[in-house]
């Protein structure tokens, strides 16, 4: 892989990362390319579907990551920068924080055996801890959960339970704008579906804030 991707991917395997992430055993740099040697993890991709026995394991892995501080010696984007172009005016600062975020908790990035393991760190980000639960909600919707069910699942994470409603709604708006741009650039059905889920989730949070 390229050096930039290798630096990003190795974040999830550093000595400070939780056990939910694979261990990095060796790292060789050759010209502008890096070779990374990880532990072998037997398992399968997680099933996010309603009623899946994997769901408690899926909740446990990001919960470990929630306690991990983003390293300061590796150049990764801050959340308030990554979503700045999509966030409602003046709200991007609400995404800031010091937690190491994965931000792509799709089922194919979670391996399951007797526990869940988070892999493929192509989009590491430093930001508010509640952002990963927000990202996970969208993948639960993709797997067939309702808006209420997905939001309730995210409440396993204290960061999501205590996040300001304004911040969650602003991020949902930014993520919806980002996915709509992605779907417009590439008409792949799954991207259009994800864009639809982001719009629906933003509307769900907006309705909740209106009822407070």
| Residue 60 vs residues 64, 125, 164: alpha-carbon distances, Å | 6, 20, 23
Structure tokens at 120: 């493929």
* Amino acid 15: pLDDT: 47
Look at the alpha carbons of 111, 116, 119, 123 in this order and tell me if their dihedral is positive or negative: positive
Beta bridge partners of 35: 28
Reply yes or no on whether the pLDDT at 18 is more than 90: no
Question: Would residue 157 be called left, alpha or beta, if left means φ above 0 and alpha means ψ between -120 and 50 degrees?
Answer: beta
The residue count for the chain = 212
Percent of the chain at pLDDT > 70 equals 91
pLDDT band, very low/low/confident/very high, at 190 (cuts 50, 70, 90): very high
> pLDDT at position 16, please?
56
| Among 190, 163, 195, residue whose Cα is nearest residue 178 | 195
At 167, phi and psi to the nearest 5? -70, -45
Mean pLDDT of 8-30: 69
Compute φ and ψ for 38, nearest 5 degrees. -105, 165
User: pLDDT-based confidence at 20, cuts 50/70/90?
Assistant: confident
Retrieve residue 157's tokens: 């994470």
- Tracing tokens 């997680």 back to the chain, one arrives at 46
Does residue 117 contact residue 50 with C-beta atoms inside 8 Å? Answer: no
Q: What pLDDT shows up at residue 28?
A: 85
Helix (H), strand (E), coil (C) string for 169-209: HHHHHHHHHHHHHHHHHCCCHHHHHHHHHHHHHHHHHHHHH
Is residue 183 scored above 90 in pLDDT?
yes
Provide mean pLDDT across the span 92-119: 95
CA gap 94, 199 in Å, rounded = 20
Backbone angles phi, psi at 116, to 5 degrees: -100, 145
Indicate if the pLDDT at residue 27 is higher than 90. no
Which pLDDT tens digit goes with each residue over 41-75? 889 999 999 999 999 999 999 999 999 998 887 78
Give the Cα separation of 67 and 69 in Å (integer): 7
Average confidence (pLDDT) over 83-106? 97
- From the list 25, 62, 57, the residue with the least C-alpha distance to 44 is 57
């Amino acid at each position: 892989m390229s050096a930039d991707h290798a630096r990003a991917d190795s974040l999830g395997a550093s000595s400070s990362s939780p056990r939910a992430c694979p261990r990095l055993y060796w790292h060789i740099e050759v010209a502008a390319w890096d070779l990374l040697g990880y532990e072998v993890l037997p398992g399968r991709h997680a099933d996010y579907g309603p009623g899946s026995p994997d769901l408690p394991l899926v909740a446990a892995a990001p919960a470990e990551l929630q306690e991990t501080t983003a390293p300061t010696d590796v150049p990764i984007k801050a959340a308030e920068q990554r979503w700045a172009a999509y966030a409602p005016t003046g709200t991007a600062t609400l995404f800031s924080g010091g937690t190491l975020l994965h931000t792509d908790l799709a089922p194919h990035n979670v391996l399951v055996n007797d526990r869940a393991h988070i892999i493929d760190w192509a989009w590491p980000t430093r930001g508010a801890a509640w952002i990963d639960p927000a990202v996970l909600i969208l993948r639960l919707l993709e797997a067939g959960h309702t808006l209420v069910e997905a939001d309730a699942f995210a409440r396993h994470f204290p960061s999501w339970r205590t996040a300001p409603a304004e911040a969650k709604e602003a991020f949902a708006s930014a993520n919806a704008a980002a996915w709509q741009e992605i779907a417009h650039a590439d008409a792949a059905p799954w991207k259009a579906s994800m864009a639809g889920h982001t719009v629906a989730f933003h509307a769900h949070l907006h309705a909740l804030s209106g009822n407070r």
